[in-house]
Protein backbone atom coordinates (compact mmCIF):
# COMPACT_ATOMS: atom_id res chain seq x y z
CA UNK A 1 0.00 0.00 0.00
CA UNK A 2 1.53 3.29 -1.12
CA UNK A 3 1.38 5.97 1.57
CA UNK A 4 1.04 9.58 0.54
CA UNK A 5 -0.48 12.95 1.42
CA UNK A 6 -1.21 13.71 -2.24
CA UNK A 7 -4.95 13.71 -3.07
CA UNK A 8 -4.18 13.50 -6.80
CA UNK A 9 -2.47 10.14 -6.32
CA UNK A 10 -5.45 8.80 -4.37
CA UNK A 11 -7.98 10.05 -6.95
CA UNK A 12 -5.95 8.57 -9.81
CA UNK A 13 -5.69 5.19 -8.06
CA UNK A 14 -9.45 5.11 -7.43
CA UNK A 15 -10.20 6.10 -11.02
CA UNK A 16 -8.08 3.17 -12.21
CA UNK A 17 -9.98 0.72 -10.01
CA UNK A 18 -7.46 0.43 -7.18
CA UNK A 19 -8.28 0.90 -3.52
CA UNK A 20 -7.56 4.02 -1.48
CA UNK A 21 -7.75 4.35 2.29
CA UNK A 22 -9.09 7.86 2.88
CA UNK A 23 -9.26 10.14 5.89
CA UNK A 24 -12.79 11.25 6.76
CA UNK A 25 -13.92 13.35 9.72
CA UNK A 26 -15.29 10.23 11.45
CA UNK A 27 -12.77 7.42 10.84
CA UNK A 28 -10.58 6.31 7.93
CA UNK A 29 -12.42 4.46 5.15
CA UNK A 30 -11.12 1.87 2.68
CA UNK A 31 -12.56 3.06 -0.62
CA UNK A 32 -13.22 1.74 -4.10
CA UNK A 33 -15.22 3.15 -6.99
CA UNK A 34 -18.79 2.10 -6.22
CA UNK A 35 -19.53 1.56 -9.94
CA UNK A 36 -16.77 -1.06 -10.32
CA UNK A 37 -17.95 -4.33 -8.69
CA UNK A 38 -14.51 -5.93 -9.00
CA UNK A 39 -12.88 -3.06 -7.11
CA UNK A 40 -15.62 -3.23 -4.47
CA UNK A 41 -15.05 -6.99 -4.14
CA UNK A 42 -11.41 -6.29 -3.29
CA UNK A 43 -12.54 -4.12 -0.36
CA UNK A 44 -14.49 -7.08 1.06
CA UNK A 45 -11.53 -9.40 0.52
CA UNK A 46 -9.05 -7.01 2.16
CA UNK A 47 -11.30 -6.54 5.19
CA UNK A 48 -12.34 -10.17 5.49
CA UNK A 49 -15.90 -8.82 5.54
CA UNK A 50 -18.89 -11.03 4.69
CA UNK A 51 -20.25 -10.16 1.23
CA UNK A 52 -23.78 -9.48 2.50
CA UNK A 53 -22.68 -6.58 4.71
CA UNK A 54 -23.44 -3.43 2.68
CA UNK A 55 -21.08 -0.46 2.26
CA UNK A 56 -21.67 3.29 2.50
CA UNK A 57 -21.40 5.21 -0.79
CA UNK A 58 -19.49 8.48 -0.30
CA UNK A 59 -20.34 11.27 -2.74
CA UNK A 60 -19.14 14.84 -3.29
CA UNK A 61 -22.45 16.58 -2.62
CA UNK A 62 -26.17 16.11 -2.07
CA UNK A 63 -27.04 16.43 -5.77
CA UNK A 64 -25.42 12.99 -6.25
CA UNK A 65 -28.10 11.44 -4.04
CA UNK A 66 -30.47 11.11 -7.01
CA UNK A 67 -27.92 9.04 -8.87
CA UNK A 68 -27.71 6.41 -6.10
CA UNK A 69 -31.20 6.61 -4.61
CA UNK A 70 -34.66 6.04 -5.96
CA UNK A 71 -37.63 8.13 -4.70
CA UNK A 72 -35.54 10.23 -2.32
CA UNK A 73 -37.82 11.04 0.64
CA UNK A 74 -38.23 14.64 1.78
CA UNK A 75 -36.71 13.69 5.13
CA UNK A 76 -33.49 12.70 3.32
CA UNK A 77 -33.37 16.02 1.49
CA UNK A 78 -33.92 17.91 4.74
CA UNK A 79 -31.22 15.97 6.58
CA UNK A 80 -28.80 16.40 3.67
CA UNK A 81 -29.45 20.13 3.66
CA UNK A 82 -28.90 20.38 7.41
CA UNK A 83 -25.96 18.05 7.98
CA UNK A 84 -24.03 17.43 4.74
CA UNK A 85 -21.17 17.52 4.40
CA UNK A 86 -20.92 15.78 7.77
CA UNK A 87 -21.07 12.61 9.87
CA UNK A 88 -24.54 11.46 8.78
CA UNK A 89 -25.40 8.49 6.53
CA UNK A 90 -28.90 8.07 5.08
CA UNK A 91 -30.33 4.71 4.08
CA UNK A 92 -32.79 5.09 1.20
CA UNK A 93 -34.16 2.94 -1.63
CA UNK A 94 -31.45 2.24 -4.14
CA UNK A 95 -31.56 3.43 -7.72
CA UNK A 96 -31.68 0.90 -10.53
CA UNK A 97 -28.18 -0.10 -11.51
CA UNK A 98 -26.57 0.25 -8.08
CA UNK A 99 -24.50 -2.89 -7.75
CA UNK A 100 -25.32 -5.72 -5.34
CA UNK A 101 -21.63 -5.67 -4.44
CA UNK A 102 -22.24 -2.33 -2.69
CA UNK A 103 -25.65 -2.99 -1.14
CA UNK A 104 -25.09 -6.59 -0.11
CA UNK A 105 -28.10 -7.45 -2.25
CA UNK A 106 -30.45 -5.21 -0.23
CA UNK A 107 -33.04 -2.98 -1.91
CA UNK A 108 -31.60 0.02 -0.07
CA UNK A 109 -28.37 1.99 -0.27
CA UNK A 110 -26.46 3.99 2.36
CA UNK A 111 -25.12 7.37 1.19
CA UNK A 112 -23.08 10.09 2.86
CA UNK A 113 -21.25 13.30 1.96
CA UNK A 114 -18.17 13.40 4.19
CA UNK A 115 -16.93 16.73 5.54
CA UNK A 116 -13.18 16.17 5.71
CA UNK A 117 -11.56 18.55 3.19
CA UNK A 118 -9.11 15.88 2.00
CA UNK A 119 -11.71 13.27 1.10
CA UNK A 120 -13.84 16.01 -0.44
CA UNK A 121 -10.92 16.97 -2.66
CA UNK A 122 -10.47 13.33 -3.68
CA UNK A 123 -14.17 12.94 -4.53
CA UNK A 124 -14.21 16.15 -6.58
CA UNK A 125 -11.06 15.17 -8.49
CA UNK A 126 -12.28 11.61 -9.05
CA UNK A 127 -15.46 13.08 -10.55
CA UNK A 128 -13.35 15.06 -13.00
CA UNK A 129 -11.13 12.11 -13.87
CA UNK A 130 -14.04 9.80 -14.68
CA UNK A 131 -16.27 12.54 -16.10
CA UNK A 132 -19.07 11.96 -13.62
CA UNK A 133 -19.60 14.41 -10.74
CA UNK A 134 -22.00 11.94 -9.06
CA UNK A 135 -19.32 9.23 -8.85
CA UNK A 136 -19.42 7.33 -5.57
CA UNK A 137 -16.72 5.77 -3.43
CA UNK A 138 -17.91 2.72 -1.50
CA UNK A 139 -15.96 2.71 1.74
CA UNK A 140 -16.31 0.81 4.98
CA UNK A 141 -14.11 1.73 7.91
CA UNK A 142 -10.51 0.79 7.05
CA UNK A 143 -10.10 -2.04 9.56
CA UNK A 144 -10.18 -5.81 9.30
CA UNK A 145 -13.66 -7.21 9.96
CA UNK A 146 -14.84 -6.86 13.56
CA UNK A 147 -11.88 -4.82 14.72
CA UNK A 148 -11.56 -1.29 16.05
CA UNK A 149 -11.97 1.44 13.42
CA UNK A 150 -8.85 3.44 12.48
CA UNK A 151 -8.56 7.13 13.29
CA UNK A 152 -5.00 7.66 11.99
CA UNK A 153 -3.05 6.57 8.93
CA UNK A 154 -0.77 4.52 11.19
CA UNK A 155 -3.80 2.53 12.38
CA UNK A 156 -4.72 1.79 8.76
CA UNK A 157 -1.18 0.75 7.89
CA UNK A 158 -1.17 -1.64 10.86
CA UNK A 159 -4.47 -3.20 9.74
CA UNK A 160 -3.51 -3.88 6.14
CA UNK A 161 0.24 -4.51 6.21
CA UNK A 162 0.88 -7.16 3.56
CA UNK A 163 -2.80 -7.38 2.55
CA UNK A 164 -3.05 -4.64 -0.08
CA UNK A 165 -1.06 -4.21 -3.29
CA UNK A 166 1.52 -1.55 -4.10
CA UNK A 167 -0.98 0.15 -6.40
CA UNK A 168 -3.45 0.70 -3.56
CA UNK A 169 -3.03 3.99 -1.73
CA UNK A 170 -3.10 5.13 1.89
CA UNK A 171 -3.86 8.84 1.99
CA UNK A 172 -2.59 10.34 5.24
CA UNK A 173 -4.80 13.20 6.44
CA UNK A 174 -3.86 13.22 10.11
CA UNK A 175 -6.10 12.13 12.99
CA UNK A 176 -9.86 11.94 12.35
CA UNK A 177 -11.49 14.95 14.06
CA UNK A 178 -14.77 13.24 15.15
CA UNK A 179 -13.33 9.82 15.96
CA UNK A 180 -16.43 7.59 15.84
CA UNK A 181 -18.40 6.48 12.77
CA UNK A 182 -21.27 8.43 11.24
CA UNK A 183 -24.84 8.31 12.47
CA UNK A 184 -26.80 5.96 10.18
CA UNK A 185 -30.48 6.75 9.78
CA UNK A 186 -32.90 4.55 7.85
CA UNK A 187 -35.42 6.72 5.99
CA UNK A 188 -37.26 3.99 4.10
CA UNK A 189 -40.17 3.77 6.55
CA UNK A 190 -42.72 6.24 7.94
CA UNK A 191 -40.41 7.28 10.81
CA UNK A 192 -36.61 7.65 10.79
CA UNK A 193 -34.77 4.80 12.51
CA UNK A 194 -31.28 5.33 13.90
CA UNK A 195 -29.32 2.20 12.95
CA UNK A 196 -26.09 3.46 14.51
CA UNK A 197 -25.60 6.52 16.76
CA UNK A 198 -22.81 8.90 15.74
CA UNK A 199 -21.84 12.53 15.41
CA UNK A 200 -25.39 13.73 14.63
CA UNK A 201 -27.70 12.92 17.51
CA UNK A 202 -31.30 11.81 17.66
CA UNK A 203 -32.63 15.19 18.82
CA UNK A 204 -31.06 16.90 15.80
CA UNK A 205 -32.57 14.33 13.42
CA UNK A 206 -36.02 14.69 14.98
CA UNK A 207 -35.85 18.46 14.81
CA UNK A 208 -34.89 18.56 11.14
CA UNK A 209 -37.29 15.84 9.94
CA UNK A 210 -40.13 16.89 12.23
CA UNK A 211 -40.62 13.18 13.02
CA UNK A 212 -39.99 11.11 16.11
CA UNK A 213 -37.44 8.40 15.52
CA UNK A 214 -38.86 4.89 15.78
CA UNK A 215 -37.14 2.58 18.23
CA UNK A 216 -36.30 -0.75 16.76
CA UNK A 217 -34.99 -1.56 13.33
CA UNK A 218 -36.01 -4.53 11.24
CA UNK A 219 -33.37 -3.52 8.69
CA UNK A 220 -30.09 -5.31 8.78
CA UNK A 221 -27.06 -3.14 9.57
CA UNK A 222 -24.37 -5.70 10.28
CA UNK A 223 -21.91 -3.13 11.64
CA UNK A 224 -24.34 -2.98 14.50
CA UNK A 225 -23.45 -6.53 15.60
CA UNK A 226 -23.14 -6.50 19.37
CA UNK A 227 -19.55 -7.71 19.35
CA UNK A 228 -18.11 -5.11 16.96
CA UNK A 229 -15.42 -2.57 17.76
CA UNK A 230 -13.65 -4.81 20.27
CA UNK A 231 -9.94 -4.80 21.11
CA UNK A 232 -8.11 -7.91 22.38
CA UNK A 233 -8.22 -6.58 25.94
CA UNK A 234 -11.50 -7.09 27.77
CA UNK A 235 -13.48 -3.89 28.13
CA UNK A 236 -15.68 -3.28 31.17
CA UNK A 237 -17.99 -0.37 31.83
CA UNK A 238 -17.64 1.12 35.29
CA UNK A 239 -19.92 3.61 37.06
CA UNK A 240 -18.37 7.01 37.89
CA UNK A 241 -16.52 6.94 41.21
CA UNK A 242 -16.23 3.13 41.26
CA UNK A 243 -12.86 2.64 39.56
CA UNK A 244 -10.95 1.51 42.68
CA UNK A 245 -13.39 -1.31 43.38
CA UNK A 246 -13.47 -2.25 39.71
CA UNK A 247 -9.68 -2.54 39.55
CA UNK A 248 -9.63 -4.83 42.60
CA UNK A 249 -12.40 -6.94 41.09
CA UNK A 250 -10.67 -7.20 37.70
CA UNK A 251 -7.31 -8.13 39.24
CA UNK A 252 -8.96 -10.88 41.31
CA UNK A 253 -11.23 -12.20 38.58
CA UNK A 254 -8.63 -12.24 35.80
CA UNK A 255 -5.95 -13.43 38.26
CA UNK A 256 -3.59 -10.65 37.23
CA UNK A 257 -0.15 -10.57 38.81
CA UNK A 258 0.07 -6.82 38.42
CA UNK A 259 -2.31 -3.83 38.45
CA UNK A 260 -0.28 -2.46 35.54
CA UNK A 261 -2.15 -4.95 33.29
CA UNK A 262 -5.28 -2.84 33.82
CA UNK A 263 -6.03 0.27 31.73
CA UNK A 264 -8.41 3.07 32.60
CA UNK A 265 -10.35 5.31 30.25
CA UNK A 266 -12.45 8.05 31.82
CA UNK A 267 -13.15 11.77 31.69
CA UNK A 268 -10.69 14.07 33.40
CA UNK A 269 -11.65 14.39 37.07
CA UNK A 270 -12.10 10.65 37.49
CA UNK A 271 -9.13 9.74 39.71
CA UNK A 272 -6.73 7.08 38.39
CA UNK A 273 -6.40 4.17 40.86
CA UNK A 274 -2.77 3.50 41.86
CA UNK A 275 -0.71 1.20 39.71
CA UNK A 276 -2.97 1.08 36.64
CA UNK A 277 -2.36 2.57 33.17
CA UNK A 278 -4.36 5.73 32.47
CA UNK A 279 -5.00 5.42 28.72
CA UNK A 280 -6.60 8.82 28.30
CA UNK A 281 -8.24 11.67 30.19
CA UNK A 282 -10.68 13.26 27.71
CA UNK A 283 -12.11 16.61 28.79
CA UNK A 284 -15.64 16.04 27.42
CA UNK A 285 -17.71 13.63 25.31
CA UNK A 286 -16.41 15.04 22.01
CA UNK A 287 -12.84 14.59 23.18
CA UNK A 288 -13.75 11.08 24.40
CA UNK A 289 -15.01 10.20 20.90
CA UNK A 290 -11.77 11.45 19.35
CA UNK A 291 -9.48 9.42 21.62
CA UNK A 292 -11.61 6.28 22.09
CA UNK A 293 -10.32 4.02 19.30
CA UNK A 294 -6.69 5.10 19.69
CA UNK A 295 -6.96 4.30 23.41
CA UNK A 296 -8.35 0.81 22.71
CA UNK A 297 -5.52 0.16 20.24
CA UNK A 298 -3.00 1.46 22.78
CA UNK A 299 -4.37 -1.02 25.33
CA UNK A 300 -3.59 -3.88 22.94
CA UNK A 301 -0.18 -2.46 22.03
CA UNK A 302 0.65 -2.41 25.77
CA UNK A 303 -0.63 -5.97 26.20
CA UNK A 304 -3.21 -4.93 28.79
CA UNK A 305 -5.58 -7.64 30.00
CA UNK A 306 -8.46 -5.33 30.62
CA UNK A 307 -9.73 -1.77 30.08
CA UNK A 308 -12.05 -0.22 32.65
CA UNK A 309 -14.04 2.54 31.00
CA UNK A 310 -16.20 5.16 32.68
CA UNK A 311 -18.59 6.36 29.97
CA UNK A 312 -19.34 10.06 29.39
CA UNK A 313 -22.93 11.36 29.78
CA UNK A 314 -25.05 9.75 27.04
CA UNK A 315 -26.30 12.87 25.29
CA UNK A 316 -25.06 14.36 22.00
CA UNK A 317 -22.02 12.48 20.74
CA UNK A 318 -21.80 10.87 24.19
CA UNK A 319 -24.55 8.48 22.98
CA UNK A 320 -22.23 7.24 20.23
CA UNK A 321 -19.36 6.78 22.70
CA UNK A 322 -21.60 4.80 25.07
CA UNK A 323 -22.79 2.66 22.14
CA UNK A 324 -19.22 1.81 21.04
CA UNK A 325 -18.08 1.13 24.61
CA UNK A 326 -21.00 -1.26 25.11
CA UNK A 327 -20.10 -3.12 21.91
CA UNK A 328 -16.43 -3.21 22.84
CA UNK A 329 -17.43 -4.62 26.23
CA UNK A 330 -19.70 -7.30 24.80
O1 LIG B 1 -18.32 7.18 9.45
C2 LIG B 1 -18.56 6.23 8.71
O3 LIG B 1 -19.71 5.90 8.42
C4 LIG B 1 -17.36 5.45 8.15
C5 LIG B 1 -16.60 6.38 7.21
C6 LIG B 1 -15.49 5.68 6.50
O7 LIG B 1 -17.51 6.97 6.31
N8 LIG B 1 -17.80 4.27 7.48
C9 LIG B 1 -18.24 3.18 8.14
O10 LIG B 1 -18.51 2.10 7.32
O11 LIG B 1 -18.37 3.12 9.35
P12 LIG B 1 -18.75 0.63 7.86
O13 LIG B 1 -18.86 -0.22 6.64
O14 LIG B 1 -17.74 0.26 8.84
O15 LIG B 1 -20.15 0.71 8.50
C16 LIG B 1 -21.26 0.94 7.65
C17 LIG B 1 -22.50 0.46 8.28
C18 LIG B 1 -22.54 -1.05 8.42
O19 LIG B 1 -23.06 -1.33 9.70
C20 LIG B 1 -23.53 -1.44 7.36
O21 LIG B 1 -24.21 -2.61 7.70
C22 LIG B 1 -24.44 -0.25 7.31
O23 LIG B 1 -23.57 0.82 7.42
N24 LIG B 1 -25.13 -0.16 6.03
C25 LIG B 1 -24.62 0.08 4.83
N26 LIG B 1 -25.56 0.03 3.88
C27 LIG B 1 -26.72 -0.25 4.50
C28 LIG B 1 -28.05 -0.43 4.08
N29 LIG B 1 -28.40 -0.36 2.81
N30 LIG B 1 -28.98 -0.70 5.01
C31 LIG B 1 -28.64 -0.77 6.32
N32 LIG B 1 -27.40 -0.61 6.78
C33 LIG B 1 -26.44 -0.36 5.90
MG1 LIG C 1 -16.80 -0.54 10.34
Please work out whether the CB of residue 109 comes within 6 Å of at least one atom of ligand 1. yes
pLDDT number for residue 228: 66
Distance 87 CA to ligand 1 centre (A): 11
Nearest to 20 by CA among 119, 161, 108: 119
Task: Evaluate if residue 226 carries a pLDDT over 80.
Answer: no
pLDDT number for residue 162: 87
pLDDT number for residue 230: 83
**pLDDT tens by residue, 115-150:** 999 999 999 999 999 999 999 999 999 999 989 999
| DSSP bridge partners of 302 | none
Higher pLDDT, residue 52 or 168: 168
Task: Evaluate if residue 41 carries a pLDDT over 50.
Answer: yes
**pLDDT tens by residue, 181-214:** 999 999 999 999 999 999 999 999 999 999 999 9
Please work out whether the CB of residue 89 comes within 6 Å of at least one atom of ligand 1. yes
Nearest to 76 by CA among 58, 59, 88: 88
Nearest to 215 by CA among 224, 202, 200: 202
Distance 240 CA to ligand 1 centre (A): 32
Distance 186 CA to ligand 1 centre (A): 11
Distance 50 CA to ligand 1 centre (A): 13
Q: Which of 99, 141, 150, 189 to mutate to test the pocket of ligand 1 (most atoms within 8 A of CB)?
A: 141
pLDDT number for residue 251: 96
pLDDT number for residue 246: 97
pLDDT number for residue 216: 52
Residue 229: pLDDT band with limits 50, 70, 90: confident
**Mean pLDDT, to the nearest integer, of 5-30?**
98
**pLDDT tens by residue, 74-107:** 999 999 999 999 999 999 999 999 999 999 999 9
Stated pTM of the model: 0.95
pLDDT number for residue 291: 98
CA-to-CA distance for 144 and 180, rounded, in angstroms? 16
Please work out whether the CB of residue 27 comes within 6 Å of at least one atom of ligand 1. yes
Question: Which atom of ligand 1 is least distant from the CA of 22?
Answer: 6
CB atoms within 10 A of CB 205: 23
Question: Which atom of ligand 1 is least distant from the CA of 198?
Answer: 1
- Ligand that comes closest to the CA of residue 179: 1
DSSP assignments along 193-207, one per residue: EEEE--SS-HHHHHH
Q: Diameter of the chain by CA atoms?
A: 62
Mean pLDDT of the chain: 94
Q: Alpha carbon of 326 to those of 29, 227, 228, 238, 248: distances in Å?
A: 22, 9, 9, 11, 21
Residue 218: pLDDT band with limits 50, 70, 90: very low
Please work out whether the CB of residue 282 comes within 6 Å of at least one atom of ligand 1. no
Burial 220-242, CB ≥16 within 10 A → b, else e: ebebeeeebbbbebbbbebeeee
Amino acid sequence: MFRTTDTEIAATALAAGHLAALPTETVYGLGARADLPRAVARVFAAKGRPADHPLIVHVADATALDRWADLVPLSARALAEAFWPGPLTVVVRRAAGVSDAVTGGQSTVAVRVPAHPIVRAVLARLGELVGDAAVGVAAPSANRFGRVSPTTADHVAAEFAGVLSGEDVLLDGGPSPVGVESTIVDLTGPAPIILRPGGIDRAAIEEVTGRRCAGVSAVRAPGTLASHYAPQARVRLVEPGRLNDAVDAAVAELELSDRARVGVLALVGEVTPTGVVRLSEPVDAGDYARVLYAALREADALGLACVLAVAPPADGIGAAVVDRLRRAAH
